[in-house]
Amino acid sequence: MAPAAAHARSTTVRTPQGTITTTPGKNGLRHLTFRFGPVRIKPGQNTIAITNSSLKPPGPGWITSFAPNLTYVNGKVPRVDVIHLHHAVWIVSNANQLVQPTWAAGEEKTIFRMPKGFGWRYRSSDRWLLNHMIHNLTPAPTRVYITWKMDFIPLGAKAAKGMREVRTQWMDVEGIKAYPVFDALRGSGHNGLYTFPDDNPNPYPDGIVRNRWVVDHDATLVGTAGHLHPGGLYTDLKLTRGDKTVELFRSRAHYYEPAGAVSWDVSMTATPKTWRVAVKKGDVLTVSGTYDTRTTSWYEVMAIMPVAITLAPAGGADPLTTNVAVKGVLTHGHLPENDHHGGAPDPNRVRAAQLPDGPTTSTVDIDQFVYGQGDLSTTGAAARPPVVGVGQPLTFVNDDARRDIFHTITACRSPCTATTGIAFPLANGPTVFDSGELGFGPAGFTAAANRKTWQTPADLAPGTYTYFCRIHPFMRGAFRVKG
Ligand SMILES: [Cu+2]
C-alpha cells in the first residue's frame, strides 16, 4: 500500500481491491471512504460473488456508522433501472465469531448510525468477506465501484473513551443464506397484506424455524432497521419472554415513488438514537416482513432486520413494561438515481391483443435478450403471439443461460407496453404465473432456478397473455391460448 493522492486534509491509500480515503474529524474521529473495484459487470448479469476484502480500517478501533453506495468508474451513481445493487453484505470473522454478517446494503441504501458511545470493535486481525450481487438490467456491460463510508474512531483517540462494543445479530426471515428469499403472490395473505412467515402455512419445509434467535446473554439492543424489496411495507422485530410477546420496532418503508409501494424509490425507517431495549438471556427475538399483495406479485423478496446488540448490559427499557416500539426515523430522502419511474406510453411497442396469430407451436426460445416469438419489441411476423391450444403448455427455453444470463416469463397486465423504469413493468397480470430465473448457478448460492426451461400452466383460459422478464424489464412478450 502506498499513498496515491492527498487532498487538503484527506489521504487515499490504493490497494489491489480498491481505495481507502481517510478524512480527519473531531476528537480523533476519522471519516473513511472505501471504494471496492472496479467490478466488471457482464451483460444482463444477476449473479452472486463472494470475496475476501482487504479494504478495512487503517488500524484497531471502533466503527460507528455505515453508508453504502454504488458508482460508475467516473463517480456517477447509476440509475437504479439500469444497474442495481441487489445486495452487498460485509461478513466479519475473528477469534470470537466464526462468520458474522455485520453490515449490509440493498438498493434502498439505508445508512446505519450507532448511538453515541456505541460501536463495532475492529481488530486488525479481523477478516472481512464481501458478498455482493449486482444486477445489470441491460445487455450492456459496464464497470462499477461498490462504495461505503464508515465513521471510525482509532483506539486511544479521545472519542474512543467509554465506547461500548456492539455486534450485529442478523435477523432474517430466511436465516443466514446466500440468497434468502420468499415469494409474496398477488392476492395472498389477508386484506392485501402478506406477512412472512406468519401467512405461509409451511414457511420452513425442513422444520428449521429461521426467523428467530434466542438471546444468549443479558444485553442491550441499541439499533435496527429493516431491509425489504419493492412491494414491502414493513418489517417487525418482536420479543417473546415466557408467554408474552411484544413489538420492539416496526421499520417502515416510506415510498417517495409516485406509483406507490412498487419501486426502489424508498427509504426505510431506523430506530431513533435514544432506542435502548434491555434483553435477557432466554428471550426470543423474531422477525417478519409484510408485503402489499393487492395488485402485484413480488418474487424472490427479502425481510431482514440486523440488530445492534451490546456484549454486556448497557441499560435500556424493559420491553414488557415500556412500549419501546416508537416511531422510526428515515435514514435518507429521495435519491436522484430513482428518478426514472417508467410507465409512460411507448409508441414503439405493439399491443399483443390486436396482433394476428403467430405460428402454432410448443416452444419459444429466448436468445440474445429476445423472446423467439411474440416479443413485443419486435415488429412484423416475429411479434405475433405464438399460439397453443387450451390445455397445451408452451415451453420456454432460455438459450442465454449458457452465458450466465437469466430470464423470466412473468405475467404482467395487458398490454404491458409502457416504458421501462423502476416502477414498470410489474408482476400484476390477472393470471399469476412466473417461470423463476431460467439459468444455472452453484446450488444454494444463486438466484437461478437451475433449469433453463419453463412450461406455461396447462389450465390457462383462452386469451392473449402478456409477460415480461423480471431481470431485464425491457423484455416483453405475449402468447395466445385458443379454444
Ligand atoms: Cu431477461
Cell numbers linked to 202 = 409451511
pTM, two decimals, is 0.94
Measured in angstroms, how far is the CA atom of residue 174 from the centroid of ligand 1?
26
The dihedral built from the CA positions of residue 338, 252, 300 and 305, taken in this order, carries a sign that is positive
Measured in angstroms, how far is the CA atom of residue 45 from the centroid of ligand 1?
9
Measured in angstroms, how far is the CA atom of residue 297 from the centroid of ligand 1?
18
Measured in angstroms, how far is the CA atom of residue 477 from the centroid of ligand 1?
11
Mean predicted lDDT score pLDDT of the chain:
94
CA separation for the pair 73, 39 (Å, rounded) = 9
**Residue 410 CA to chain centroid, in angstroms?**
19
Over the chain (483 residues), the average pLDDT of each successive run of 10 is: 54 94 94 95 91 93 95 94 91 83 90 95 95 92 95 95 96 92 97 98 96 98 97 98 98 97 96 98 98 98 97 98 97 95 92 96 97 95 97 97 96 97 97 97 89 96 98 97 95
Can you say whether residue 81 is alpha, beta or left, with left for phi > 0 and alpha for psi between -120 and 50 degrees?
alpha
Instruction: State residue 447's pLDDT score.
Output: 93
Find out whether 482 and 418 touch, Cβ atoms under 8 Å: no
422: closest CA among 376, 473, 467?
473
CA separation for the pair 278, 320 (Å, rounded) = 10
Measured in angstroms, how far is the CA atom of residue 427 from the centroid of ligand 1?
14
Which residues, in sequence order, are bridge partners of residue 301? 182
Is residue 338 classed as helix, strand or coil in its secondary structure?
A: helix
Instruction: State residue 99's pLDDT score.
Output: 82
Instruction: State residue 96's pLDDT score.
Output: 75
CA separation for the pair 77, 406 (Å, rounded) = 24
Using CA atoms, how far residue 92 sits from 89, 96, 103, 182, 292, in Å, is 10, 10, 9, 26, 34
CA separation for the pair 10, 17 (Å, rounded) = 19
CA separation for the pair 229, 284 (Å, rounded) = 26
Instruction: State residue 172's pLDDT score.
Output: 97
Instruction: State residue 61's pLDDT score.
Output: 97
Cell numbers linked to 74 = 467516473
